[in-house]
Amino acid sequence: MKLPSRTEFLDRSSYRQRRFRDAARWLPIFAGVLMLLPLMWPRETPDQSQTSNGIVYLFGLWVILVVLAFVLSRVLRLSESLDGNDAPNGWGGE
């Protein structure tokens, strides 16, 4: 059931909140792509595919993701009252 009307223009703080939510939705997609990235690494010579490089890359990525998730969890406000109709399946649009 779609809501009959949506707020078209939001004040700055609500606008910012919506973009944070978009970020929360994008983050796992971004993370997923980066997790698959090593599959495309060149592996012609032994020194191109060392496990130690993999460890550095994966754990580095992990730390970055944790930091981003941490930042998002601090700025995201959970109450939906802010802009009322957050679209659970879509991108909050204005």
Partner 1 sequence: MISFNLLIVVSLMYVVFLFLVAFAAERRAAQGKTSWVRSSVIYTLSLSIYCTAWTFYGAVGYAARSGLEFVTIYLGPTLVMIGWWWLVRKLVRIGRTQRLTSIADLISSRYGKSPVLGVMVTVLAIVGTTPYIALQLQSVTQSIAVFAASSDEMWLPGDLNRAAMWVAVGLAVFTVLFGTRNLDAHERHHGIVLAIAVEAVVKLCALLAVGIFVVWGIAGGVGATLELIDASAQSQWSPSPSRWIGLIFVSGAAFVCLPRMFQVLVVENSDEQSLSTASWAFPTYLMLMSLFVVPIAVVGLDLMPESANPDLFVVTVPISEGRQGLAILAFLGGFSSATSMVIVATLSLATMVSNHIIVPSWLNARTPGAVVSGDVRQVVIMSRRVSISVILALGYVYFRVSGGGTALASIGLVSFIGVVQVFPAMIGGVFWRGANRWGAGAGLIVGFSVWLWTNFLPSFGIDAVISQAVFLGGPFGIGWLRPEALFGISGTDPFVHALFWSIFLNTSAFIFVSILTFPNPLERLQGAQFVNVFDYSSGARTWLQSAAQAEDLLVMSQRILGGAEALSIFATEARSQGKTGFQPDVTPDFIGRLERELSGSVGAATAHAMIGQLTEGTIVSVDDLIAVADETAQIMEYSSRLEAKSAEANSTARALREANEKLTALSIQKDAFLSQISHELRTPMTSIRAFSDILRDEDVENVARKRFAGIIHEQSNRLTRLLDDLLDLGVLESGQVQLNIGQDILADVLDRAVIASGVNTGKLAIARRAGNETVNVHTDLDRLAQVFINLISNAAKYCANDVPKLRIIVRQFAGQTIIDFCDNGAGIPSESQSMIFEKFSRLEDEGKAGGAGLGLAICRQIMGALGGDITYLPGQGGAAFRVTLPAAQVLVLQ
Number of residues forming the site for partner 1 (CB under 8 A):
46
Q: x/- binding map, residues 17-56, to partner 1, per CB under 8 A?
A: ----x--xx-xxx-xx--xx-xx---x--x--xxxxxxx-
Through-space distance between the first and last CA atoms of the chain, rounded to whole angstroms: 19
| Residue 78, burial from CB neighbour count under 10 angstroms (0-12, 13-18, 19+) | exposed
| Identity of the residue, 39 or 93, whose beta carbon is nearer to partner 1 in the bound complex | 39
Residue 84: left if φ>0, alpha if ψ -120 to 50, beta else—which one?
Answer: left
The whole-angstrom separation of Cα 67 and Cα 62 is: 9
Find the shortest distance in angstroms from Cβ 91 to partner 1: 12
Catalog residues that contact partner 1 under the rule CB under 8 A. Answer: 1, 3-5, 7, 21, 24-25, 27-29, 31-32, 35-36, 38-39, 43, 46, 49-55, 58-59, 62-63, 65-70, 72-73, 76, 78, 80, 84-86, 88-89
